[in-house]
Amino acid sequence: MIALGAIVAAGLVTALGVRDAVALDLVFTLLLYAVLGQSWNWISGYAGNISFGHAIFFGCGAYASALMVTHGLSPWLAIPAGAVAAAALAIVTGFPTLALRGHYFSIATIAVAAIVDALVRTQPWLGRATGFELPIASGWAALQFADKGPYIVLALVLFAAVQIATIALERSRLGYYLRALRANHAAAAAVGIDERSWKLLAFAWSAVIASCAGVLYAQYTLFVDPPSTIALGVSIDIALIGVVGGIGTLWGPAVGALVYVVLAKGVALELGGTGKGYDLVIYGAIICVIAALRPHGIVGTIVDGLRRRRGALELGAAAATGGAA
C-alpha cells in the first residue's frame, strides 16, 4: 500500500508539474498498460486460465466510447455501457470455456476473439474496418482534454483503484478459492468449490477493468478500429506484459508495463528508422530468457527470493530459540 501511495504521489506530481508532452505520453501509456496487464492477470494469473483473447474486452470499452460520442451521447456513459458489455461477453464466452483444461482454454480465447473481430469487421454500425474517429472536444463533460495532465490523473485513479481491487482480491474469498483451484482442481472440487462460478466472477471483473482502460484509451487517442483495439496482436501484447512482470503477482503487470514501454519506445527511438524489427528480437529474447530461467517473471522471482530469505530467517530464529529452550 505504501508503494501504491508513493506511485500515486509521484504520478500526481508528474501530471501537474511536468510539461514535456512526450514524457507525459509515456507515463500515460505505462499506466494504461499496467491496468490492462492487471486485468489480464486476474484471469490468467490468479485464476490460472491463460487468455490470448483479452483485447476484446479492451475493445468493448473503446468501441463503447466511440459509439457514445458518434451518437451524441456523453462518453462518461461508455464506462458503464462498456463494463456491462464486457462483463456480458465474458460471462457468455466464459461459461462454456472456463472449465476447459489449460491449452484448450487458451485456444478457445483465440477462437472467441477471432469471431468477435470478424463480426466487428462486417457490421456497419460497429464501423467495419474503417473504425471511428472521435471528434475533437474539450472539458470534463466530453472526457477529452487538450492538456495531458487530466488524462494522467484519470489513469492514476484507475491504476490505484485496480491495484487496491487486486489487493482486495488476494485477501478475499474469491482469491482464496482461486488459489485453491490453481493448486489442485480435484481437491478443491472435493471440498465443494464450484470452479466455474468463481472463475466466471474473476473473468467478468477482469473484463470490466479492461473495458475501463478501453474507454480511457479511446478518449485519449481519438481513434478506434479493429487492428488497434481487438486484434490478436493487441491480445498478445497484453499477455506478454503480464508474463514478463510475473503472473499472479500484485506488481507484476506494472513492472511488465514498465519493461514494455521502455523497450518498445526506447528501441524505437534508438534503432528506429531501419525498419528491421530489432525491438521485436530483443523483446522476444527477454521473454525466452525469463521463461527458461525465471519463469515466475521479474516480480515473481523477487517474491520468491524474499520468501526464501524470510524463511531462512525464521528457521534461524526458531533454531536459536529452540536451541536456547
Q: In this complex, which beta carbon is closest to other proteins, that of residue 84 or of residue 107?
A: 107
- The single-letter code of the amino acid at 14 is T
Residue owning grid cell 472521435? 134
- Give min distance, CB of 239 to other proteins, in A: 7
Sign of CA dihedral 252, 60, 134, 16: negative
> Whose CA is closest to 155, among 63, 219, 77, 64?
219
Which residues contact residue 158 at a Cβ distance below 8 angstroms, ignoring those fewer than 6 apart? 31, 35, 212, 213, 216
- Give min distance, CB of 30 to other proteins, in A: 12
> Whose CA is closest to 245, among 163, 153, 156, 151?
163
Q: Is 193 helix (H, G, I), strand (E, B) or coil?
A: coil
> Whose CA is closest to 35, among 16, 57, 15?
57
Q: In this complex, which beta carbon is closest to other proteins, that of residue 262 or of residue 317?
A: 262
Q: In this complex, which beta carbon is closest to other proteins, that of residue 25 or of residue 170?
A: 25
- Give min distance, CB of 164 to other proteins, in A: 26
Q: In this complex, which beta carbon is closest to other proteins, that of residue 118 or of residue 168?
A: 118
- Give min distance, CB of 79 to other proteins, in A: 20
- Give min distance, CB of 73 to other proteins, in A: 20
Going by the DSSP 8-state scheme, the letter that residue 231 receives in this structure is S
Q: In this complex, which beta carbon is closest to other proteins, that of residue 276 or of residue 307?
A: 276
- The single-letter code of the amino acid at 90 is A
